A and B are shown apart, each in its own frame.
Chain A
Amino acid sequence: MQRRHERLLHFAVVGVLLVPLVGAAAGGLLDRLGANPVEQLTHVTGEWALRCLLLTLAVTPAKRLLGWPGLLRYRRSFGLLAYTYAVAHFSVYLVFDLGFDLGFLLEDVAERPYITVGFAAFLGMTPLAVTSTRSWQRRLGRRWQSLHRLSYVVGVLAIVHFWWLVKADELGPAVHAAALGLLLLARRLPARSGR
C-alpha cells in the first residue's frame, strides 16, 4: 500500500511540473500568450528548465536533511523534466527565432556569449539525460556519479545565460542564483548519521 501511495505522489508531482509546459503549448495554440507568444514560450520553457534543474540538485541535500531515501527516485524525474523543458526551449528558439537556419545558430553560438553558455548548458544536459537510466547507472558504476556532477556546472551555465540576457531588472536571475548557491553549500552538509 505504502508503495502505491508513493508512486501516486511521484506521479502527481511530475504532473504538476508539466502544467507550465502543457499550459504554454495550449496557450500558444489558442493564441493566448499575449502580444509576443514566441517570447512568452521561450521565457516559460527556459525558466522551468532552470527550476526543474534546481529541484534535481535539491534532492540529495533534502534526502540528507529529511533522511527519506525514497526521495532519490525524484532526482531522475526532475532531471528529465529539466531536459524536457530545455529541449522545448531550444526548439522554440530554433524554429521561430532562427527559422531552422543553422548558419544563424552557429553565428549566435559563436558571437553571443549568453547563447554560447545557454547552448553549452543544453549540450551538457544531453549526456546526463541519456545516461539517466538504471542500466547506464550500472554500466558506468562509480563514473556515473562523476559524470552527473556535471549538473552543477549546467546549473551555473544556465544562471549565467539568464543573467546575461536581462536588461536592467536582475531580480529573477539573482533569486535563482541564490537558490543554486544554497544548494551548492548544502552539498557540504554531513550525511545524517544512522540512516
Chain B
Amino acid sequence: MPIHRPRPILSREITDEGLYLDRRRFLQGAAGAAAGLALSGCFGAEEVSASSGAPAPAQLVDVPRGPAEFQTDESPTSYADATTYNNFYEFGTGKTDPAARAGSLRPKPWSVAIEGEVGRPGSVPLEELLRPHTLEERVYRLRCVEAWSMVIPWIGIPLVDVLKRFEPTSKAKFVAFETLVDPEQMPGQRRGILDWPYREGLRIDEATHPLVLLAVGMYGRELPNQNGAPLRLVVPWKYGFKSIKSIVKIRLQESQPQTTWSQENAREYGFFANVNPEVSHPRWSQARERRIGDLRKRPTLYLNGYADEVGSLYRGMDPARLF
C-alpha cells in the first residue's frame, strides 16, 4: 500500500496549547470564586490532580504531522480531560485513579524486550528503540468499549517501522504485547482484578498496518504516566483496551496470543475488538458513544471511521465475529 507523504506540517503550526485550555477552568472563572470555594470541599481533590497535581511532562518540540489521510480534523479532547479520565487498572479501577496514583510509575529508564520470531531479539533501551525513527503527530479518534470517545493528538512512530528493524521471520503471524508488572510502581496490581501482566495482541497484518502507532507522547508532550508512559500502542479502529499501555515486551509468534480482556470474559471481549456499532456488547449497545466534552451521544462509526484504511484487512471475515 503506497503511502502518500505530504509536506510535513510542524505540530506547532496546528496545535496551539492554549486551545486545549480546558473548558472547566474557563467556566470556573465565569462561575465566580465564591461558588468555586463553596464546592471545593467536595470536588477539590479531583481538580488539583487535573490542573496542578503532577508536573506536565516534557515538551516534544517540532514534531511534524504524519500523513494527512491518517488525521482527523475533529477538535481534540481537552488535555485536562484526556489526562484525568483514564482506564488503567494498574492504578485503580476508578476513572480518576490513574491521574491520582500514577506518580509512582518510573518511566525512565525503560527498556523493551523484543522476543520470539525475530532475527534480532533482545532487550532494547527505549532511547535506542526510538533513535532511528522520526517522531510524528497523528490526531486519532479513540473509542472506548464503554461507549465514550476522545480525539487525541498522539506523537509516535508507526509500529511497522520498528518491527521491521528486528527482522520478523516467516513464522511471525501475531504480535503480543505486555505491560510492566510491578505492584510497587503500579499499586492497582496489588489486587488481582485482572490477571497481570496486562496482555494484548494483533494479527501481523494488523500490526504492520501504517495506522498503528507506537506512541511516546500526546498534545506535544511526552506521555503522562496515566496515559501509558513511556511507550504505548495506539490502534484507532479497535476499542481502547487493545491500545496497551506502558509496554515492556513485544513478542512475535506463530499462534494467536492470549489477551487480558478476552481471558477475563471471552463472550464480551474478543481478540479483534473492532469498533462496530452493529455488534452490541452483550450488556450494552455500541451503536452510539459520548464524545468526552459532549453531553449527548453521537452515532458510532464502523471501524471507528477508519473503514477505508483498514476494512480490507477483514475481507471475507464476518464482522459480527470480530468483536
Q: Are B284 and A36 in contact, with the CB atoms below 8 A?
A: no
User: What interface size band does chain B fall in?
Assistant: 35 or more
A11 at the interface (CB under 8 A from B): no
Q: In the complex, which residues 126-185 of chain B have their Cβ closer than 8 Å to any Cβ of chain A?
A: 146, 148
Q: Are B148 and A30 in contact, with the CB atoms below 8 A?
A: no
Interface string of A104-127 (1 = CB under 8 A from B): 000110011110000000000000
User: What interface size band does chain A fall in?
Assistant: 20 to 34
A99 at the interface (CB under 8 A from B): yes
A27 at the interface (CB under 8 A from B): yes
Say whether, besides A34-B95, A35-B292, A114-B283, A168 and B89 are in contact (CB < 8 Å): yes
Q: Shortest CB–CB separation between residue B76 and chain A, in angstroms? A: 13
Query: How many A-B Cβ pairs are below 8 Å?
Result: 79
What are the residues of chain A within 8 A of B81 when measuring CB–CB? 34-35
A165 at the interface (CB under 8 A from B): yes
Q: Are B28 and A36 in contact, with the CB atoms below 8 A?
A: no
Interface string of B45-75 (1 = CB under 8 A from A): 0110010000000000000000000000000
Say whether, besides A32-B28, A35-B81, A113 and B89 are in contact (CB < 8 Å): no
Of all chain A residues, the one with the shortest Cβ separation from B295 is A96
A167 at the interface (CB under 8 A from B): yes
What are the residues of chain A within 8 A of B84 when measuring CB–CB? 34-35
Say whether, besides A36-B292, A37-B295, A167-B146, A27 and B39 are in contact (CB < 8 Å): yes
User: By CB atoms of chain B within 10 A, which of A30, A96, A169 has the most?
Assistant: A30
B280 contacts which of A27, A38, A111 (Cβ < 8 Å)? A111
Q: Are A35 and B284 in contact, with the CB atoms below 8 A?
A: no
Q: Are B290 and A36 in contact, with the CB atoms below 8 A?
A: yes
Q: Are B93 and A23 in contact, with the CB atoms below 8 A?
A: no
A136 at the interface (CB under 8 A from B): no
Question: Measured between alpha carbons, how far is A112 from B283 in the docked complex, in Å?
Answer: 6
Q: Shortest CB–CB separation between residue B273 and chain A, in angstroms? A: 14
A6 at the interface (CB under 8 A from B): no
Question: Measured between alpha carbons, how far is A34 from B44 in the docked complex, in Å?
Answer: 11
What are the residues of chain B within 8 A of A37 when measuring CB–CB? 295
What are the residues of chain A within 8 A of B50 when measuring CB–CB? 34
What are the residues of chain B within 8 A of A169 when measuring CB–CB? 89, 93, 193
Enumerate chain A interface residues (CB-CB to B < 8 A): 23, 26-27, 30-39, 96-97, 99, 107-108, 111-114, 164-165, 167-169
A selection of 14 A-B contacts at a CB cut-off of 8 Å is A30-B27, A30-B31, A31-B23, A31-B27, A34-B95, A34-B96, A38-B295, A39-B148, A96-B295, A96-B296, A97-B297, A107-B285, A164-B283, A168-B264
Q: Sorted from nearest, which 8 A-B pairs have the closest CB atoms?
A: A35-B85, A35-B81, A169-B93, A31-B27, A32-B43, A30-B31, A23-B42, A35-B292
